[in-house]
Amino acid sequence: MPSDSAAQPADAPAADLAARAAELRERLAYHAQRYYVQDAPEIPDAEYDRMFAELQAIEAAHPELLTSDSPTQRVIGRVLDGFAPVRHVVPMLSIRTETDTTPGGAIAFDARVRRELELPADAPALAYAAELKFDGLAINLRYEHGVLLQAATRGDGETGEDVTQNVRTIGQIPLRLLGTAPPLIEIRGEVYMRRDDFERLNERQRERGGKTFINPRNTAAGAIRQLDPKALADKKLSFFAYGLGDLQGWAQPDTHSATLDAIAAFGLPVCAERAVVQGADGLVAFHTEMGAKRDALPFDIDGVVYKVDSIALQKRLGFVTREPRWAVAHKYPAQEQITRLNAIEIQVGRTGKLTPVAKLEPVFVGGTTVSNATLHNLFELRRKGVRIGDTVIVRRAGDVIPEVVGRVPGARAGYVPNFRMPRACPVCGSRVLREKGGIDHRCTGGLFCAAQRKQAILHFAGRRAMDIEGLGDKLVDQLVEGALIRTLPDLYQLANEDGMARLAALDRMADKSARNIVDALEASKRTTLARFVYALGIRQVGEATARDLAKHFGSLDRIMDASLEQLLEVRDVGPIVAQSIHTFFEQPHNREVVEQLRASGIAWDEHEGAADAAPQPLSGRVFVLTGSLPTLTRDAAKAMIEAAGGKVAGSVSKKTHFVVAGADAGSKLDKAHTLGVEVIGEAELLAMLEEAGAGGSSS
Residues 470, 353: Cα–Cα separation, whole Å: 27
Q: Are the C-beta atoms of residues 440 and 580 closer than 8 Å to each other?
A: no
For the chain, the maximum distance between any two Cα atoms, rounded to a whole number of angstroms, is 94
* CB count in 10 Å sphere of residue 288: 13
Q: Are the C-beta atoms of residues 227 and 330 closer than 8 Å to each other?
A: no
Residues 123, 146: Cα–Cα separation, whole Å: 42
Task: Name the 3-class secondary structure at 518.
Answer: helix
133 in active site? yes
Q: Are the C-beta atoms of residues 647 and 625 closer than 8 Å to each other?
A: no
Distances in whole angstroms, Cα of residue 535 to Cα of each of 203, 384, 595? 27, 38, 14
DSSP codes, 612-638: PPPP-TTTT-EEEEESB-SS--HHHHH
Query: What value, to the nearest 5°, has the Cα angle with vertex 567 and ends 561 and 570?
Result: 130
DSSP codes, 647-667: EEESS--TT--EEEE-BT--H
Q: Which of 635, 640, 637, 641 is nearest to 657 (CA)?
A: 641
User: For strand 441-443 and strand 353-365, is the pairing parallel, antiparallel, or unpaired?
Assistant: antiparallel
Residues 177, 446: Cα–Cα separation, whole Å: 56
Main-chain dihedrals φ then ψ at residue 124, nearest 5 degrees: -60, 155
Q: Which residues pair with 85 in a beta bridge?
A: 161
- Cβ-proximal residues to 431 (8 Å cutoff; 6+ apart), any chain: 423, 424, 425, 443, 444, 583, 587
- H/E/C letters for each residue in 175-213? CECCCCCCCEEEEEEEEECCHHHHHHHHHHHHHHCCCCC
- Cβ-proximal residues to 60 (8 Å cutoff; 6+ apart), any chain: none
- H/E/C letters for each residue in 399-441? CCCCEEEEECCCCCCCCCCCCCCCCECCCCCCEEEECCCCCCE
* CB count in 10 Å sphere of residue 399: 9
Positions marked catalytic = 133
